[in-house]
Amino acid sequence: MTLLVLGVLVSSMVHLFPIAGVPARRQLIGRIGEQTYKGVFAFTIVASIVMMVFGWRAITPTAVYRASAWGYAAAELLVFVALVLFVTSGVPSNLKRVVRHPQLSGLVVWSGAHLLANGDRRSLVLFGGLGLWAIVAMMLTNRRDGVWEKPEPVPMASELKPLLVATGSWAVLFFVHPYIAGVSLSLAW
C-alpha cells in the first residue's frame, strides 16, 4: 500500500506545484533552466505512474464496500465521458464553453467511475486520491486565474473529433486494461 500511496502523493504534489507555487516554480526554472525543469517534471510524473501501477498490482484487494452490477455499466459509460472531456481539453470544442477544466473534470469523472465499479481499499486510495487531487487542482487554478473567460463558439463539426478520438481510446483501453490494471473489463460483467 505504501508504494501506491507514495505514487498518488508524488503525482499530486508535482502537478499542484506549478499551480500553487508559481513564484517558487519561476525561481526553480531560473536556477536549473526550463529544459531541466521539464525533464525533472516528466521523469517524476513517469516515476509516480510506475509507483501507482506496481503499487496497485502488489496489493490484494480488501473490500470496503460491494460494487453493484449497475456500477460496472455506469463505469463504462462514465469512462467514455471522461475520455471525451480529456480529449476536448486539447482541441477546439463548444464543450469548453460549459466546462472550464475539461481535462481535470474528465479525471474526476474517471475516478468516480472506477469507484462505482470497485469497492476495495486500493481503489479508494488510487481513484479517490486522484479524483481529490483533480478537484483541488481546479479550485487552485480558478483562484490563480480569476474570472473565467469562456472561449468563442466553434462550428458543431468540431465536436466530432473528440468523440472519434474518445471512441478509439475507449476501444484501446478495453483491450489494454488487463495489462495495466490486471483486471479484464469483460470479467466485470
Region 147-172: what's the mean pLDDT? Answer: 90
- Does the structure show a pLDDT above 90 at 182? no
Residues 21 and 67 reside in one and the same domain: no
Percent of the chain exceeding pLDDT 90 equals: 68
CA angle 89, 93, 99 (to 5 degrees): 60
Residues 106 and 187 reside in one and the same domain: yes
When the pLDDT of each residue in the chain is averaged and rounded to a whole number, the result is: 91
- Type of residue at 187: L
Q: What CA–CA distances, in Å, run from 39 to 1, 29, 30, 35, 145?
A: 28, 11, 15, 6, 25
Least reliable range by pLDDT among 46-50, 136-140, 167-171: 167-171
Digit-coded pLDDT (tens) for 58-105? 999 899 999 888 888 898 889 999 999 999 998 889 999 999 999 999
Domain count, the chain: 2
Residue where one domain finishes, among candidates 15, 35, 59: 59
CA angle 166, 167, 169 (to 5 degrees): 60
- Does the structure show a pLDDT above 80 at 148? yes
pTM as predicted = 0.86
Residue where one domain finishes, among candidates 39, 59, 79: 59
pLDDT recorded at residue 189: 42
- Does the structure show a pLDDT above 90 at 176? no
Residues 18 and 91 reside in one and the same domain: no
Residues 71 and 48 reside in one and the same domain: no
Q: Which domain holds residue 152?
A: 62-189
Beta bridge partners of 63: 120
- Does the structure show a pLDDT above 80 at 155? yes
pLDDT recorded at residue 186: 59
Digit-coded pLDDT (tens) for 20-48? 988 999 999 999 999 999 999 999 999 99
Residues 24 and 97 reside in one and the same domain: no
